[in-house]
A = this chain, B = another copy of it.
Amino acid sequence: MADRVYNFSAGPATLPFEVLEQAGKDIVNFKETGSGLIEISHRSPEFIEVIEKTESLVRELLEVPDNYKVLFLQGGASSQFFMVPMNLLGAGKKATYLNTGTWAKKAIKEAQLFGDIDVAYSSEESIFNHVPANDAYQVAEESEYLYFASNNTIYGTQFETMPQSKKMLVADMSSDIFSRKVDVSKFGLIFAGAQKNLGPAGVTLVIIRDDLLEKTPAHTPTMLSYKTHADKGSMFNTPPCFAIYVMGEVLAWLKNLGGVEKIEEINREKAALLYSQIDASDYYRVHAQDGSRSLMNVTFNLPTAELEAKFIAEASALQMKGLKGHRSIGGCRASIYNAFPREGVVKLVEFMQVFAANNPA
């Protein structure tokens, strides 16, 4: 572990080292079966135990009510952009969307193929530097749901508290699921690509209220209907076994650490360390407005683009990798998901002080 770097990548993102070590062994010989984890049938008792364990940890750690199904799907979070409206809307039906970043905007584009989409709020004109307060938009009476991205990975903004509405909520929680408490009962559907807080790319977690399974229009392709997967425990076809296995290991690690409540505390402390440093000097500026700051992705700027490039290069040489901001906004981004260690944040903060002192604007 001596040569392990601090990996600030926005996703795929750093995972608990002990999970990697276990996966490294299980891939070669899973539970002394004499076969590697990725070679065994998804219908074998060994794999069924894996998927059931992963599902039950999802339920336990997020306190998922019994009337919700937990699904493990393929296609990334991006496939949920169309699957949500394909399954939940119908011709002429309306839904309300909040346009708070790249991923929300892409979801809106796909939803427009399936229904009447009301974009009730957009922060695009201010480079997506905030998310709206509850009273800043209206949800139409006829809307089937209110859709939002709880954390905007690219812009570093997050809903500090979830939107409140009489309508059911639908959320893309790809970049903050399991990082803080959520009242699942307010949601019709939650989805999250695994590759930030949950594991490797290749599986998408979907949590759906079971009455919604009946809404899918006839003539929807079998694989695109949530009901297909719900009815078969995500085993209608071969699931992405390895990614589901790693998700289970990551959740077991989280449970062992103290669960969502505990990680939320740690996440708040890590983010506070970083934001305090940024706030303490004029040298660094946060992209997100107050009240919208993400605990997961901290986006910030230095005085010039040249200094940013130098900062990223020097940090990288010090084994702090992946600090470059997304190409659509530039600057720097420190992604500090659940598995990102506190010591890495401390090291970054110290480096920021030294760098600012050595490189006056």
A15 adjacent to B39 (CB under 8 Å): yes
Nearest-neighbor residue (CB-CB) of A224 within chain B: B82
Residues of B within 8 A of A79 (CB): 74-75, 223
A237 adjacent to B77 (CB under 8 Å): yes
Q: Mark A38-62, 1 if CB is under 8 A from B, else 0.
A: 1111101000000000000000000
B238 adjacent to A76 (CB under 8 Å): yes
B27 adjacent to A27 (CB under 8 Å): yes
Question: Does A219 make an interface contact (CB < 8 A)?
Answer: yes
Surface stretch bound by B, among A2-10, A121-129, A252-260, A280-288: A2-10
Minimum CB–CB distance for A146 against chain B, Å: 21
Minimum CB–CB distance for A64 against chain B, Å: 24
Nearest-neighbor residue (CB-CB) of A201 within chain B: B238
A78 adjacent to B237 (CB under 8 Å): yes
Question: Does A212 make an interface contact (CB < 8 A)?
Answer: no
Nearest-neighbor residue (CB-CB) of A26 within chain B: B24
CA distance A3 to B35 in the complex (A): 9
Question: Does A170 make an interface contact (CB < 8 A)?
Answer: no
Nearest-neighbor residue (CB-CB) of A174 within chain B: B238
- Partner of A41 from the list B12, B24, B35, B86 (CB cut-off 8 Å) is B12
Residues of B within 8 A of A137 (CB): none
Minimum CB–CB distance for A66 against chain B, Å: 28
Residues of B within 8 A of A238 (CB): 11-12, 76, 193, 195, 201
How many monomers of this protein are in the complex? 2
CA distance A288 to B44 in the complex (A): 26
A76 adjacent to B237 (CB under 8 Å): yes
Residues of B within 8 A of A4 (CB): 29, 34-35
- Partner of A35 from the list B86, B106, B239, B321 (CB cut-off 8 Å) is B321
CA distance A82 to B15 in the complex (A): 35
Minimum CB–CB distance for A150 against chain B, Å: 18
Residues of B within 8 A of A200 (CB): 38, 240-242
Residues of B within 8 A of A268 (CB): none
A78 adjacent to B223 (CB under 8 Å): yes
Q: Max chain B CB contacts within 10 Å: which of A32, A193, A322?
A: A322
Minimum CB–CB distance for A241 against chain B, Å: 5
Question: Does A187 make an interface contact (CB < 8 A)?
Answer: no
A5 adjacent to B110 (CB under 8 Å): no
Question: Does A33 make an interface contact (CB < 8 A)?
Answer: yes
Question: Does A330 make an interface contact (CB < 8 A)?
Answer: no
B11 adjacent to A34 (CB under 8 Å): no
Minimum CB–CB distance for A86 against chain B, Å: 7
B39 adjacent to A13 (CB under 8 Å): yes
CA distance A40 to B322 in the complex (A): 9
Residues of B within 8 A of A240 (CB): 74, 200-202, 240, 243
Name A's B-contacting residues (CB within 8 A).
3-5, 7, 9-15, 17, 20-21, 23-25, 27-29, 32-36, 38-42, 44, 74-79, 81-82, 86, 106, 109-110, 113, 193, 195, 199-203, 219, 221-224, 236-243, 246, 319, 321-322
Can you list 30 contacts pairing A with B, beta carbon distance less than 8 Å?
A4-B34, A4-B35, A7-B34, A11-B41, A11-B238, A12-B38, A12-B238, A14-B35, A15-B38, A15-B39, A17-B28, A20-B27, A20-B28, A38-B200, A74-B76, A74-B202, A76-B223, A77-B237, A78-B222, A79-B223, A81-B222, A82-B221, A82-B223, A82-B224, A113-B221, A195-B238, A200-B242, A201-B238, A201-B242, A202-B240
